[in-house]
Chain A
Amino acid sequence: MTGPAESAVSSHTTRRAAPRTPPRGWVRQAIRRRGNIAAFCVLLAVACIMLLPFYWMFSSSLRTMENMFSLPIQWIPDPVNWRSYVLAWQAQDFTRYFLNSGFVAVAITLSNLLLCSLAGYSLTKFHFRGQGVMFILILSTMMLPLEVTMVPLFLIIKELDWANSYQGLIVPFLVDGFGVFLMRQYMLSIPKDLIDSARIDGASELRIFWMIVLPLCKPALVALAVFTFREAWDMYIWPLIIITRDSLRTLPLGISLFMSSYGTSWDQLMAIAVLGTLPMILLFFFLQRAFIQGIAATGLKE
């Protein structure tokens, strides 16, 4: 935007004279400031679009059913109707669904933290035959969506008699290709000397992993934990396939069931939607950096 005008004004020789400092007149600053204001306005508008469903979900959960589709549209609920939360919570066993989802997500997250960091450690700080092939095999699972393998995976789980069980929900996801990749990339930066000197001091291999390597990986572990928890909390297709017993339903199953049986009680549906999103929102606010880092890490290249 600013280039042509500036280069036309400043002659070639003056630029030679001071090559390190490009000309910065007040015009340029003004243009830059105007650009910033424009960028700010665009981003503000986009933020409003992104947040609209959140606002609408929350405000509708507090609106009475009579005012749900009123004309003109009611942006601020009046009167405020908190009862939708109580009614929705009691309509189905949502306490149980919440606990199930929480248990499954925590179990998957903890196991991923342990197994992915062990695998990453193995792939970076040890040498054995076939190591490269194993890494490529692990990576290739990232290209293999569950939707491709779900039918045979269901048959395997059925064979193991794990349909309608916590094992069935958890065990297939104990470890994940992306998690291994993330931990491996991070552990490449840990100096080998550190591990060797601990070995000379007589520390056992497990102790070195636990006391030296893991603490050094804390940022990557937090990012992986948040990423994995989010994926596990979001999981829908797999529980839908293997869970039919009500006491084992996870929250997404509960919400979709609620949707199909109370399809027009929008106040209650939105109340449940708010409660189902709340854990993720809290996690995001407390661990924002880790949340974003975990996703930025999916863009890591070799």
Chain B
Amino acid sequence: MSQAAAPKKAQGSSTAYAARSTSRRRWRISLASRQAAFGVAILLPTLAILAIFRFLPMIEAFYLSLTQYDLVHPPKFIGLANFVSLLQDPLFLKSARVSLTYVLFSVVPVLPLSLGLAVLFNRSLWIKNVLRSAIFMPVVMPAVVMAVVWTFMYQQDGVINTILGWLGIDPIAWLRSSASALWAVILIGIWRATPYYMVIFLAGLQAIPADYYDAAEIDGAGKWASFWHITLPLLKPTMLLVIVMNVIVAMKVFAVPLIMTGGGPADATRVLPLFIYQTAFEFFDMGRAAAMSVFLFVGVMLFSFIQVRMFTRGDEQR
């Protein structure tokens, strides 16, 4: 780029100038292509790894879903039979329903909770950083540890029932009852996700220029008015991202239900990833498990798509 200005200064016979200019251009082109080659070369390892370990399995999942495969006999092509039988399988339908319930109730409360906490943190408070670190702590706990610790806390004589007792609430059979087990698992999801998304919202809030609020205050807008008309609209991209991420994370939940309940009692907590795992690695029905994966994949895509549409439609109207 910086050599481009040089030829203009070159004086002398026109033929000499032309010769030098072409040689210079050729040199520059070869340099540019050499640089591009370097650029491609350093991208190749990433592309290769993602191709082999992400895209290839994705394609293979679609193929496998059309076969019957038990790891012993070679895969047998059976068309859409897996999908047909899944849609008639009450266990699968129940599992899909459990997953949807989990996603809905672990995503919806997290949104106002994490945004609310972020708004509270977005002012100057005494020992703010200490409080923020404390609230952030659940993100630090590994999922498996979380499952073990909460199982202990959910015991009949455990700490949660004790605290509920102070409030005059009768002990709940958390993990032992099919009515409450899923809610127990959802509660952990909320506990873990809220601080995570709080951090993202906080970053979003801090990106809003303070001038906007000053201007609104001058115009006599109250706290709520500026929250509704400045904060929320400007946070829309962040919110969209939080919802999409949160839905994907919620659809993947696995370790907590597996360790805490193994999917029970009475299949109440058998989320889709857990059912896929059990079908593939306990019953060795790879084709059926792949078909379930395809459903999960379609679910993730559909959810993300609907959310993006919902949020962008608002923009079109404005």
Chain A residues within 8 Å of B, Cβ to Cβ: 1-4, 6-7, 15, 19-20, 22, 35-36, 39-40, 42-44, 46-47, 49-54, 56-57, 60, 69, 71, 73, 115-116, 118-119, 121-123, 125-128, 134, 137-138, 141, 143-156, 171-175, 177, 180, 196-197, 200, 205, 209, 230, 233-234, 236-237, 240-241, 251-252, 255-256, 259, 266, 269-270, 272-273, 276-277, 280-281, 283-284, 288, 291-292, 295-296, 298-299, 301
Contact = CB atoms under 8 A, between A and B. Distances in A.
Contacts, number: 294
B120 A141 contact: no
B307 interface: no
A126 B39 contact: yes
Nearest to A129: B36
Interface of B: 1-2, 35-36, 38-40, 42-43, 45-47, 49-50, 52-58, 60-61, 64, 117, 120-121, 123-126, 131, 133-153, 155, 157-159, 162, 191, 195-196, 199-204, 214, 217-218, 220-225, 237-238, 241-242, 245, 248, 251-252, 254-255, 258-259, 272-273, 276-277, 280-281, 286, 289-290, 293-294, 296-297, 300-301, 304
Given A22-B217, A153-B53, A270-B152, A276 B144 contact: yes
Contacts of B150: 53
Contact of B218 (A15, A51, A56): A15
A94 B196 CA distance: 29
Contact of B46 (A46, A138, A241): A138
Given A43-B117, A50-B191, A137-B50, A277 B141 contact: yes
Nearest to A58: B149
Given A273-B145, A299-B238, A154 B280 contact: yes
B280 A151 contact: yes
Contacts of A292: 136, 199
A174 to B, nearest CB: 5
B200 A39 contact: no
B142 A52 contact: no
Main DSSP-derived SS at the B contact region:
helix
